[in-house]
Amino acid sequence: MTLIAIVLALILEQLHALPVVQVVHQPVAKLSGFLERSFNDGRYAHGVIAWVLGVVAPALLLLILYAYLWVYQSVAALLLSIGVLYLTMGFRQFSHYFTELQDALRSGDIDIARRTLATWRQHSGDRLSSSEVARLAIEEALLASHRQVFAPLFWFAIVGPVGPVIYRLADLFKRHWGDRSDVEFGQFGSFSRQAFAVIDWLPVRLTAFAFAIVGDFEDAVYCWRTQANRWADSASGILLSSGAGALGVRLGLPFAAPAQLDDVDDIRPELGLGEEADPDLMQSTTGLVWRTLVLVLLLLALVWISGWMGG
């Protein structure tokens, strides 16, 4: 049932992209705002309570519902799994931006490329060169493919539909609370940041290893071992260094015009080996991500076949 649900959810998502902002991000933002107003007094313990109410409580309700359907209505359980995957993962949540960027760069429309990247990242970058736009686009695509496809798939395969729900909610609460550094926010968001790091620890490494398998394995492993710890965020460093090595592209690197992106640290160590980013390497990135998905599906199919033969 796991493999069937994943394949059907992927097909559904390709046929009709989910309006993820309206259906997922905005409701979660309202919930996080309500919990913050209700519990945030700057203390760590209250951040734990709010996170449990925002992440664990919905997941527990889903688990109870799924367990009931699994016993009494297996078809409904399958439909529920498909619906959960449709809400929590999908290429179309980011791939259209990547395709538009690639087309704009190929046609030389750097202004359109800059605006598209700004819309995608929700941050301006009107002085970026074409290579810098391509570099940021590849970085965003590698990170998004993990967080919006491969990590939810991993947790779904391990614990069923409750897994991707916990992952997606933990990711969003970490963005709303854990990434805030203003003094008045206190320690309220610390637990959301720590919890997501634990939840994402194994999926990050599995995705990075999968990038290496379907790309240039030797360079991917070398870059992972020698460059990942240079990046400010360790999880992102692992994914970007492995992906850059697998693709043979140079990521990171300072910008030609300093401090042109308010959300990007000026310290951007070089990741990867080989060429400067360009539209051709963006196409290679698309191929890398799809090959990774095929690898994941093949592994799940082998597990399913071995279980069926063993049963």
pLDDT digits (tens, 9 = 90+) for 236-284: 999 999 999 999 999 987 776 554 555 555 568 999 998 899 999 999 9
pLDDT at residue 259, rounded to an integer: 45
Hey, CA dihedral for 69, 70, 75, 80, is it positive or negative?
A: positive
Helix, strand, coil abundance in the chain, percent, nearest 5: 75, 0, 20
Q: Which amino acid is at 218?
A: E
Classify residue 229 by its DSSP letter. Answer: G
pLDDT at residue 92, rounded to an integer: 82
pLDDT at residue 261, rounded to an integer: 57
pLDDT at residue 169, rounded to an integer: 97
First to last CA, the chain: 15
For residue 71, what are its two tokens?
Answer: 């016993």
Classify residue 129 by its DSSP letter. Answer: -
The Cα–Cα gap between 35 and 52 comes to 10
In this prediction, the residues of the chain whose per-residue pLDDT falls under 50 are 259
Hey, CA dihedral for 144, 55, 69, 19, is it positive or negative?
A: negative
The Cα–Cα gap between 237 and 231 comes to 5
- Closest of 103, 100, 65, 71 to residue 83, by C-alpha: 65
pLDDT at residue 147, rounded to an integer: 95
The Cα–Cα gap between 48 and 63 comes to 21
- Residue carrying the six token digits 């995957």: 85
pLDDT at residue 263, rounded to an integer: 52
